[in-house]
Amino acid sequence: MPWRLKNALTTTLPPVARSFAWTFRSREHYNYSYDLQPFNLEYLAAFVAVITGVPRKVARNYIGEIENDSALKNHVVRLNLSHRERFVADAEARFGRRMGWYALIRAQKPRLVVETGVDKGLGSCAIAAALLRNSAEGSPGRLLALDINPEAGYLLIKPYNDVGQMVYGDSLASIASMKDEVDFFIHDSDHSAEHEANELRAVESKLSSRALVLSDNADCTDELLKFADRNGRRFLFFAEEPLNHWWTGDGIGVAFR
C-alpha cells in the first residue's frame, strides 16, 4: 500500500504544486494560456503533416514561425497590459494548441477562415498572422471571427485586422448569412455538444471541397467525429501537453479529406 500511494502521489502532487504557484503568478480566470512540452510540439508537427500532406520538417518550421514571431508576441503583451481586461490576462503570449491552427493555415493556404468564439482574440491573431504570411507569399486569405459578445476580440487590431474581421452576433445566424465557400472552420464558441453540433450542421453546406473543419471541443464531445463520419471525412485528434502548468490541456480535433 505505501508503494502504491507513493506512485500515485508522484503523479498527482506536481500539478497541485503548480496550481499553487499559478494562483499567485497568473491573472487568468479561464481560457488558460501556456506553452507546450517540447516533445508535444514535435507531435503537433507530425499531426499537421498527416492532415495537410506537407513534410513534417516543413510543418515544424511553420510552428517555429509563430514561436519566434516577436512582433505578434509584443502585440499581445502590449494590449494585455493596456486593455481593461488586463486584470484577467497575463502579460505573456503563450499560444499552446493555437500554434497548430497557425501551422495548418500556413500549410493549407485557405481563402476564407471562419472562427466561432473569440474571447480576447489570441487565436484570431495567430490565424491572422498565418494569413499575412500566406498573403506575402502570394496566397491571400481572410478571417471572419464570430462572437456573440460585442466586447470580444480586442487583440484583433492593426495589423491583424488587415486580414481579420470581427462579426458580432449569434454564430448560427452569421454562418447562415455567408455567401463565400469556407476553406477552414474552427468551432470554439459555446462548448455544449448541442451548440457544437448545430454549428457543424450550419457550416456543412458552406464548405469547399478542400475544407478543414476543427473543433476546440473535441476533447469533451464526439460531435466532430460524428460530423466526419456523416461526411465521409477522416478524423484525428491532437492532445496538448502543457509546459509547467496545472491544466491538463485541451486539444485539436480535425475532420479532413
Digits of tens for pLDDT over the chain (257 positions)?
Answer: 777 878 887 888 888 888 888 888 888 988 899 999 999 999 999 999 999 999 999 999 999 999 999 999 999 999 988 888 777 888 889 999 999 999 999 999 999 999 999 999 999 999 999 999 999 999 999 999 999 999 999 999 999 999 999 999 999 999 999 999 999 999 999 999 999 999 999 999 999 999 999 999 999 999 999 999 999 999 999 999 999 999 999 999 999 99
CATH number for position 163 = 3.40.50.150
pLDDT at 21: 86
Indicate whether 27 belongs to any domain.
yes
Q: Which of these, 60, 160, 184, lies nearest to 112 by C-alpha position?
A: 184
Q: Under DSSP, is residue 40 helix (H, G, I), strand (E, B) or coil?
A: helix
Indicate whether 132 belongs to any domain.
yes
Q: Which of these, 104, 110, 128, 109, lies nearest to 206 by C-alpha position?
A: 110
Indicate the pairing of strand 207-215 with strand 164-168.
unpaired
Q: How many CB atoms lie within 10 A of CB 221?
A: 17
Indicate whether 155 belongs to any domain.
yes
Indicate whether 40 belongs to any domain.
yes
Angstrom CA distances, 169 to 41, 157, 177, 202, 243, stand at 35, 19, 12, 15, 35
Indicate whether 128 belongs to any domain.
yes
What is the tally of structural domains in the chain?
1
Could you give the angle at the alpha carbon of 45 between the alpha carbons of 217 and 97, nearest 5°? 30
pLDDT at 87: 77
Q: Under DSSP, is residue 108 helix (H, G, I), strand (E, B) or coil?
A: helix
Q: Which residues constitute the domain of residue 128? A: 14-256
Indicate whether 37 belongs to any domain.
yes
Indicate whether 7 belongs to any domain.
no
- Sign for the pseudo-dihedral over CA of 89, 240, 219, 226: positive
